[in-house]
Each structure stands twice: as C-alpha cells, then as structure tokens.
Structure 1
Amino acid sequence: MVAPQVEICIYGADVICASCVNLPSSKDTYEWLEAALARKFPNQSFHITYVDIYNPPEDENKQQFSQRVIEEEMFYPVVVINGTVVGEGNPKLKSVYNELEKYGFSSANT
C-alpha cells in the first residue's frame, strides 16, 4: 500500500522554551526527526517543515498555529502531522511513528 503525502510540521523558535532548557533546540529536533523518519520509513513520501513561530511563512494555517503555540504557551518544538499534534517539548518517536502508521506507513523492519 502506498502512503499518501503526509505533512509533518515542527513548530519552534531559536530561543529554547523556558521549560525545555536541557532539551535539544527546535531546529535540532527537526533535523533529528527528519533523519529518524527517513531511516524508519525509507522510500515513503512525507514532507517535513520547520516553522519558526515568531516568523511563520505566508501560509495562513501555519501562521494561525504559530500564534496558538505562543498564546497557549505550548512547549516547543511542537510536532504536528496533518493537523494533529503528536508531541510537545520533547516529542517521542513512538508517538510520531504511530501517527504515521495511521496513514499507511510501514517500518523498514517489517
């Protein structure tokens, strides 16, 4: 089965979240997650984007969600897959994998 195109957005900022001082930066998490997903789900199509919550792109949905992260004081980075929040602050790979499997992704190990 071919998985549909999935959009993964990592919302964060250059400044580390006050509650996340000892955790990796948002950009580090983005790079780590991109590499981990490419290893876990090789040859499966997903689009991963880093969004700076203080300087979001022109996309209205990304601007609105960036504002939500700020207003609701969410722990960032916030990982969103096709509109579903799957992790905040220190996202767990298992949660991200489980969400992608709902879209038909299958592990390289299966």
Structure 2
Amino acid sequence: MAELFWEQAPESYSRWLPPEVSADRLLRWGFVEDGTHLFWLMTGEDSDTWPIADLYEDGGPFTIHKEGFAAYVQRWCAPTPGPTTEPIQFIHWRKYGHLMEQGLNPAS
C-alpha cells in the first residue's frame, strides 16, 4: 500500500497536501470504500507518536488526527446514530477480491 501510494503521490496526491507535509512522510496503512486513504504521518523516530492522517481520493481535505491509532480506530468503529445498523467489517483486500470473484457478497 505504501509503495503504491508513493509511486502515485507526486502526480496524483501531492497537490492536496499542505506545504509542510510531503508524500514521503506518509505511510499508507488503509483505504476505505468511500475513497479515504489512511496514513501514519511520520513525524520522528518514535512510531508510537505518529499521528493518523486521512485524505479523500477526490482531493477532499487532508486531516491530521492527534488522538493516536487506537483511539482513532475506536472512534471510527463506534456506533453512530443513523439510518443503518449494519456492523462495521474489516476484510483484507485479497479476501474481499476472492469473495467477489466467487460471486459472494463480502458483507454477508
């Protein structure tokens, strides 16, 4: 994921980053089906202190979240009020592709 992002970043994503953040400081660790890329922002030698950042693929806002990885994922997975009560699912992209090839709905 990180290598692909770095290969594409100069032409595709760098223009959406604030001037103080270069693509080589972003370690991509996830992608959400709504088009959001998820990163660690490498701010120093101690990876335990790297903040989480996200960027919408269409050039939406680049956001830095200071709360840390565990708190970010916990907040992201917390139930929110709304029209759906579907549980959040985490499926590896290879397993997702395999299920789709078999004609199976990965959400089922």
Indicate whether the TM-score tops 0.5.
Answer: no
Specify the TM-score bucket, using the shorter chain as the normaliser: under 0.3
**TM-score of the superposition, structure 1-length normalised?**
0.24
Q: Which has the higher contact order (CA 8 A, sep 6+)?
A: 1
Q: Which structure has the larger Rg? A: 2
